[in-house]
Copies of this chain bind each other. A is one copy, B any other.
C-alpha cells in the first residue's frame, strides 16, 4: 500500500480510501491510484486490515469428523450461513478426543476467530471460559456442554428413540431389543433412555438381555445381535447407521432378514434399496448446522440476553423393515422347561413383592 502511494504520488490514506471505496476522492486521483494498483499488482492484506479493525470475519467449526457424512452435512449448512455473513470458515475434527478439541479451539481463539461452533467431545469446557470472557462467541451443537452461559442446539435423540420403539410396539412387538453404543457415549445414553421410556409407557418389560451396548466394531455388534436373537426379540432398534448395517448383516446371516423388525437411528443413502427397505428415524444434521450458525451470528450481531437452547427434531421414515409384524416365537429354540422356569421365577418375584 505504501508502494502504491509512492508510485501514485499520493498519501497512504488516499490509497486506503480508494481501496475501500470511500467517497471524497477526485476521479482524477482515484484513477491514478487505481493505475498504480494495477501496475504494481497490489492486493490488500485482509489480515492486516482485520488486525486494526479488531474483527477477523472468520469462525471456527469443530466436529467429531468432517469425513463422516453426518458432520459433513452439518459443516456444509454452517458454511452457507457463514458465507452469507461475509465470513470464512475454519474446520477441524476431534475424533471425540477432548484434548484435541481443546487444542483446536484454543488455536482458533489465538487466531481471534469471531466465534466457534463446537460439537463437544466431552461436556467439560472450562478451558473456554477465559476465551469467552475475552469476547469469543461459542455455540455448542449436538451434545451438551457444562458452559451454561453459551448457546446450544441439541437433537431430540430421545424423542426419536421413543418414536422408533413406539412404532415397533404399534406393529405388535413386545420383545424389542436395543442395539447401540457403550454407556459412556452420550447419544447411546439418550437413545437407550428413549427406548426405556417407550417400553415403560406401553407397560412392557425391558429385559436386560434385550439391551446390547457395544462399540461399533463388526465382531462386537455381530455377537451382540446374536445375543438379542438368542433372547428371542422380535424387533430391534439400532442406535446409529453403523449399527444398522451390522444388524442387517447378522439378520441376513441368520436367515431372519424379513422376519425380525428393525428400525435404525440415522438415515442413510440406499436405505430404501435394501430388502426389506430400512425404516429409520432420520436426524437432521443440516438443520442443526443452520440453527447453530444462526445462533452464532445473532450473537456476533450484538444480541445479548441469556443463553438460548434450540432443539432439532427427528423424523420417522417407514420403509418396510420397521413395519414387519411380530413373529410369535412358536417354534422357539428355547426349551420348554426354561420357559417354565422363567415363568415360575417371575411368579415367585411378584409374589414376594406383594408379600413385602
Q: Is A66 an interface residue (CB 8 A)?
A: yes
Report yes or no: A93 in contact with B76, Cβ–Cβ below 8 A. Answer: yes
Q: Is A340 an interface residue (CB 8 A)?
A: no
Closest chain-B Cβ to A186's Cβ sits at a distance in Å of: 22
Q: Across the two chains, which residue of chain B brings its CB closest to A68?
A: B72
Closest chain-B Cβ to A292's Cβ sits at a distance in Å of: 15
Q: Is A89 an interface residue (CB 8 A)?
A: yes
Q: How far is the CA of A270 from the CA of B76 in the complex (A)?
A: 23
Report yes or no: A48 in contact with B51, Cβ–Cβ below 8 A. Answer: yes
Q: Is A133 an interface residue (CB 8 A)?
A: yes
B-binding segment of A39-47, A115-123, A218-226? A39-47
Q: How far is the CA of A269 from the CA of B73 in the complex (A)?
A: 16
A268-B269, A270-B268, A275-B275 as given contacts; A131 in contact with B43, CB under 8 Å: yes
Q: Is A311 an interface residue (CB 8 A)?
A: no
| Chain A interface residue number, banded | 35 or more
A51-B48, A270-B269 as given contacts; A89 in contact with B88, CB under 8 Å: no
Partner of A41, one of B50, B67, B92, B130: B130
Report yes or no: A67 in contact with B56, Cβ–Cβ below 8 A. Answer: no
Closest chain-B Cβ to A10's Cβ sits at a distance in Å of: 22
Closest chain-B Cβ to A64's Cβ sits at a distance in Å of: 11
Report yes or no: B75 in contact with A91, Cβ–Cβ below 8 A. Answer: yes
Collect the chain B residues with CB atoms within 8 Å of residue A108's CB: 88
Q: How far is the CA of A336 from the CA of B71 in the complex (A)?
A: 55
Q: Is A112 an interface residue (CB 8 A)?
A: yes
Q: Which of A75-98 contact B (CB under 8 A)?
A: 75-77, 79, 83, 88-93
Report yes or no: B274 in contact with A67, Cβ–Cβ below 8 A. Answer: no
Residues of A within 8 A of B (CB): 41, 43-48, 50-51, 56, 58, 65-69, 71-73, 75-77, 79, 83, 88-93, 107-112, 130-131, 133-134, 241, 245, 248-249, 252, 268-271, 273-275, 286
